Amino acid sequence: MIAPFLDLLFLKSDAQYQERLLAGKPELGYSVKSLIDSFYYYFTEIITNPDKGKLYALSFMCIIVVVLFFIKNLFRYLATFFISSVRNGVIKDLRNEIFSKSMVLPLAYYSEERKGDLMSRMTTDLQEIEWAIMSSFEAVVKEPITIALFLITLFALNPMLTLIVLVLMPISGLLIGKLGKSLKRTSSKGKEKLGDLMSIIEESLGGLRIIKGFGAEEKVNSNFESVNTRYTTLMNRMFRKNYLSSPVSETLGTIVLVVVMYLGGKMVLSQNENFSAGEFITFIAIFSQLIPPVKSFTTAFYKIQRGMASADRVYEILDEDLRITEIENPKKLESFTSNVLFDNISFSYGDESSERVLKNIQVNIEKGKTVALVGQSGSGKSTLVDMLPRFYDPIEGNVFIDDINLREISLGSLRSKLGIVSQESILFNDSIANNIAFGVNTASKEQIEQAAKVANAHDFILKAENGYDTVIGDRGVKLSGGQKQRLSIARAILVNPPILILDEATSALDTESERLVQDALNNLMKNRTSLIIAHRLSTIQNADEILVMSEGEIVERGTHNELLSKNGAYKKLYDLQSFN
């Protein structure tokens, strides 16, 4: 609209208007020249019409500009309106995917990673992707099209000047790209430091009782401030590089503009008939419109470089090998009828060359029997038990249920046959009833109460503020250790599993709580196959078989009386506890 505005209203004489009309109406085609000539002819008719004239043409031009800008902004709003669902939808899907992946990753993965860093990836890194990448999505799609259309128009006006622009702009792009890569590296380091900060916060809040008890507040504060200072330094460096993008791109664009002004002005001053003053001004105006989308694209590029550092961290989790996987078309374990067999099991937490924490373990547990594992800490008891629900897979040997290899059974049907009560009672910030019914979606109130009665938990639940509807706080903080453990047992009773895993379920309790919990455990173990890890030997004297483990091997096995008569490792453990 600029060229006809300048040429027709201000730069043409009456004779030139008449000359254009006498030349006749140009044929309308798809070329830029035919469109411009047709536009010129139409406006010349308006200007030379006695009833209309230049003022009418000017008014008409202004109306067209307003209409065009209205259409532009209408479609810009519609673009952002529809892109918002894409932007938020992508982040929602990523959030769902990363949480879902975190639920199926093996426990070995979490033993190698810090929870705070993982939380940082699931929260701040995803937020960074939304801010940095998705907010730039519009610019990345729109601006290249805008730039291309402007360049086509510039080519139509003056190919030589446009070629100069195309030579100079990639040089600017190389410098901007180099700064962008540097920004990504700095951003990646900053994300790692933020993960460290989140880990310190998570560990400190979780261990607040110990920190206060040992008067270590100053030490913890010092550690946090040190990491926080390093993180702040990295963030300052990142933001400074980020803020550099706009002035650098604008300065480089201005340099190119000055070169174009000089060379184009030189062409006009040399009275080159192929490049008029109006076309030169139009060229400059269009080129100036080229700078904002280039600047916007550059800014988006910088944001994307920042976001890519976060995306890399997120996709490290999404691309992580599951390790514990199901075969195609796994078998469904309908029932448990015969035995559990650990067949020549060996295991290490690293690769196969790492030190074995389990060495050639052979154990057969018949249905209805109780087998106990005892031994010093670190002897491999918990690791062996974790093979049964497939928290880990052995690197040598196999585990069987009813002569079916666990690797051939679907994880859902396998774990539905197991009930687990661990030393640390894992409860959730929910009501007592919902915690008991955690593994059963269709449990009735009567079934929940019956499970609580068997677990010796019904009486203390009724005394709670809202009975079974009492919310127990984060990790059951409102309950005592014995109460939490009895709720864990009630949860296992409600599932009604044929196989029980009891991992030092009474070791952290006082004498009275231990008695109540042990009574609940005895109720739980009736008519079930049980695998028990115990430090207190008094709790497993009636086990059908006791396995004594040391350094990943079974060094003794037998009943309580048989092991005492051997006067070996079990006898030493028993004497130590009896003496204490």
CATH number assigned to the domain comprising residue 192: 1.20.1560.10
Nearest CA among 109, 150, 406, 104 for reference residue 292: 150
Are 570 and 564 in contact by the 8 Å Cβ rule? The answer is yes
Return the pLDDT at 71: 93
C-alpha distances (whole Å) from 486 to each of 277, 421, 456, 556 are 91, 10, 7, 32
Residues 190 and 55 occupy one common structural domain: no
- Residue that is last in its domain, among 496, 525, 553: 496
184 and 50 assigned to the same domain: no
C-alpha torsion sign, points 297, 303, 305, 311: negative
336 DSSP 8-state letter: -
Residues in contact with 200: Cβ distance below 8 Å, sequence separation at least 6, in sequence order: 116, 220, 223, 224, 227
The verdict on residue 294 lying in a domain is yes
- Domain end: 475, 496, 517, which one? 496
Same domain, 161 and 305: yes
DSSP structure string for 371-413: EEEEESTTSSHHHHHTTTTTSS--SEEEEEETTEEGGGB-HHH
Same domain, 79 and 122: no
Question: Quick one: which of 364, 157, 155, 356 has its CA closest to 275?
Answer: 157
Question: What is the C-alpha separation between 9 and 60, in angstroms, rounded?
Answer: 12
Other CB atoms within a 10 A radius of the CB of residue 106 amount to 18
The confidence score (pLDDT) of residue 580 equals 47
Q: Is residue 517 situated within a structural domain? A: no
Residue 165: name the closest of 178, 180, 179, 153 by CA. Answer: 153
CB-facing half-sphere around the CA of 438: CA atoms within 13 A: 18
Q: How many distinct structural domains can be found in the chain?
A: 3
Q: How many CB atoms lie within 10 A of CB 182?
A: 15
Amino acid at 571: K
Q: Tell the residue number behind the tokens 């200007």, with chain if given.
A: 47
The distance of Cα 264 from the centroid of its chain, to the nearest Å, equals 52
**Statement to judge: residues 160 and 291 lie in one domain:** yes
Euclidean distance between CA atoms 570 and 63, whole angstroms: 98
Are residues 136 and 58 located together in one domain of the fold?
A: no
User: What pLDDT does 70 receive?
Assistant: 93
The set of residues, in sequence order, having a beta carbon less than 8 Å from that of 58 and lying 6+ positions away, is 9
The CATH number of whichever domain residue 439 belongs to comes to: 3.40.50.300
Q: Quote the tokens at residue 459.
A: 């009486």
Instruction: Give the pLDDT confidence score for residue 341 in this predicted structure.
Output: 93
| Residue at 134 is within a domain | yes
Same domain, yes or no, for 57 and 160?
A: no
The DSSP symbol for 475 reads G
Identity of the amino acid at 118: L
Is the Cα dihedral 225, 231, 236, 239 positive or negative?
Answer: negative
Do 427 and 468 lie in one domain? The reply is yes
Along the 580 residues of the chain, how does pLDDT read in single tens digits? 666 566 656 656 667 667 767 777 777 777 666 777 777 777 777 777 778 877 787 788 788 888 988 998 998 888 878 877 887 888 888 888 888 888 888 777 777 777 777 787 888 888 888 777 766 777 777 888 888 888 888 888 788 888 887 777 777 667 766 766 676 677 777 777 877 777 787 777 767 767 777 677 788 888 888 888 888 888 888 778 777 766 777 777 778 778 888 888 888 777 655 677 767 777 887 877 777 777 777 777 777 777 787 888 888 888 888 778 888 889 898 888 899 999 999 988 876 667 888 999 999 999 988 899 988 888 888 889 989 988 888 988 999 999 899 999 998 888 888 888 877 777 888 888 988 888 787 888 888 888 888 888 888 888 888 888 988 887 777 888 778 888 888 888 888 888 888 887 665 556 666 677 677 777 777 778 888 888 777 778 888 899 999 888 999 999 988 888 988 888 888 887 765 4
Chain-centre distance for alpha carbon 33: 53
Whether the CA torsion 442, 447, 449, 454 is positive or negative: it is: negative
Block residue for tokens 């031009």: 61
End of a domain among 322, 344, 373?
Answer: 322
DSSP string over 489-528: HHHHHHH--SEEEEESTTTTS-HHHHHHHHHHHHHHHTTS
Continuous segment of H or E residues that includes residue 150: helix 137-157
Q: Is 430 left (phi over 0), alpha (psi -120 to 50) or beta?
A: beta
In a domain, 404, yes or no: no
Same structural domain for residues 46 and 126? no
Reported as type and span, the H/E element at residue 549 is: strand 545-550
339-366: pLDDT as tens digits = 999 999 998 887 666 788 899 999 999 9
CB neighbours of 324 closer than 8 A, spacing ≥ 6? 104, 106, 390, 391, 392, 393, 411
Non-local (6+) Cβ contacts of 285 within 8 A are: 2
Integer Cα distance of 226 and 233 in angstroms: 11
Instruction: Specify if 534 maps to a domain.
Output: no
Q: Which domain holds residue 476?
A: 423-496
Q: What is the largest CA-CA distance in the chain?
A: 127
Per-residue model confidence (pLDDT) at position 125: 83
Query: Are 137 and 212 members of one domain?
Result: yes
- Rounded CA-CA distance 579/577 in Å is 5
Does residue 535 lie in a domain region?
no
CB 122 within 8 A of CB 95: yes
Residue 99 falls inside a structural domain? no
Report the alpha-carbon distance of residue 514 to residue 483 in Å, rounded.
Answer: 10
Q: What are the φ/ψ torsions at residue 315 (nearest 5 degrees)?
A: -75, -15
Residue 505 located in a structural domain: no
The number of CA neighbours under 13 Å toward the Cβ of 528 is: 23
Co-location of 69 and 118 in the same domain? no
- Per DSSP, 555 falls in state E
Sign of the alpha-carbon dihedral angle for 339, 345, 351, 352:
negative
Chain centroid to Cα 279, Å, comes to: 53
What's the rounded Cα separation, in Å, for the pair 36 and 6?
13
Same domain for 132 and 7? no
Residue 337 sits at φ, ψ, to 5 deg, of: -125, -20
